[in-house]
Amino acid sequence: MSVYDSIIIGGGPAGLSAMLYLGRALTNSLLIEKKGAGGQMMSTDTVENYLGFPEEISSFELVAKMQQHAEKFSKNEIVYDEVIKIENIKEKIKKVITADGKTYETKTIILAMGGFAKKLGTKGEDTFSAKGVSYCATCDGAFYRNKTVAVVGGGNSAFDEAYFLTRFVNKIYLVHRRKEFRAEPINVKHLTDTGKVEYVLDSVIDEICGDSKVTSIKIKNVADGSIHEQALDGVFIFVGQEPATHFLKDTGIELKESGHIVTNMSTMETNIEGVFACGDSVFKPIRQVANAVGEGAVAAVSATNYLNKA
């Protein structure tokens, strides 16, 4: 069994950036991706704030360009499989084990798993999952042509996804627990200007109701406790992400209570020598494609420096 110089876990923008830089350093490395390149970026329709693309670009096209660029300068391999365990993580030769029963040995690891949609935890959410409850407008928006839906959340993701939904739906109730939004003002303006949104502020969804599919939601005002029921056809939930770090809990890697990985932000190294992390699984205040790409570059350069000193 050959020993890799580095294994990247995750093929989103951070992982692809790391692959590019490891390739340019002429390392023998491997990228393992669970589903497909792009990560969480693939759950949105377009990207309009990535430098170098003044006109908005589809997430699919941007990911394709990223992967093509990474592969151009790299002979390093991409394997589609799920990493379920890391062994000997504190040793010089570490073992990465996948769901397919494969074991890969490596001198360094770059963790770039990203995250997955966080659930509301409200009554009816699990019951109506895929029956009117969705976490991906790009995936499911076309099913709601000329319908009425709710979007839950107040950040950029909620507004980006709601804006995409305006292509199909007649009306959106955007439910947010506060009066102020975390989203950038330009995103709020884009959605408001469509004329298809009604903001329901200081409110949460108390229950998602229906029979064989969603037919209504009960909305609770957090200020006065009042509850009213709103008829609609679907609920799209965008209330943040949870990091995909569940398989790291017994490794000794320092994690925040939220599950995010603690790193030295100047080198992207974790508390374990030879293990680096980047992208949305890292503990940080901002999660954008731009800083994920930068962190991937830093992690790869740091891993290369580590290899050169070993």
> What is the distance between the terminal CA atoms of the chain, rounded to a whole angstrom?
20
What is the pTM assigned to this prediction? 0.80
Same domain, residue pair 282 and 136: no
Neighbours of 105 (CB within 10 A): 16
Which among 214, 215, 212, 167 is positioned nearest to 191, based on CA atoms? 167
Catalytic residue list: 136, 139-140
* pLDDT one-digit tens code per residue, 226-255: 999 999 999 999 998 899 999 999 999 999
| 304 contacts 40 by C-beta, under 8 angstroms | no
- Domain residues for the domain of 21 are 4-114+244-309
Cα–Cα dist 56/122, whole Å: 35
Read off the CATH number of the domain in which 228 is found. Answer: 3.50.50.60
* pLDDT one-digit tens code per residue, 175-230: 999 999 999 999 999 999 999 999 999 999 999 999 999 999 999 999 999 999 99
Cβ density class 230-242: b for 16+ within 10 Å, e for less: bebbbbbbbbbbb
- The two structure tokens encoding residue 97: 């084990």
Same domain, residue pair 63 and 35: yes
Same domain, residue pair 10 and 110: yes
- The two structure tokens encoding residue 27: 């390392």
Counting the structural domains of the chain, the total is 2
Which among 78, 74, 75 is positioned nearest to 21, based on CA atoms? 74
Same domain, residue pair 29 and 141: no
Exposed, middle or buried by CB within 10 Å (0-12, 13-18, 19+), for 37?
A: buried
* pLDDT one-digit tens code per residue, 126-168: 999 989 999 988 888 999 999 999 999 999 989 999 999 999 9
- The two structure tokens encoding residue 292: 């994920």
Same domain, residue pair 73 and 170: no
Last residue of a domain, one of 240, 272, 287: 240
Which among 74, 100, 93 is positioned nearest to 17, based on CA atoms? 74
Same domain, residue pair 171 and 224: yes
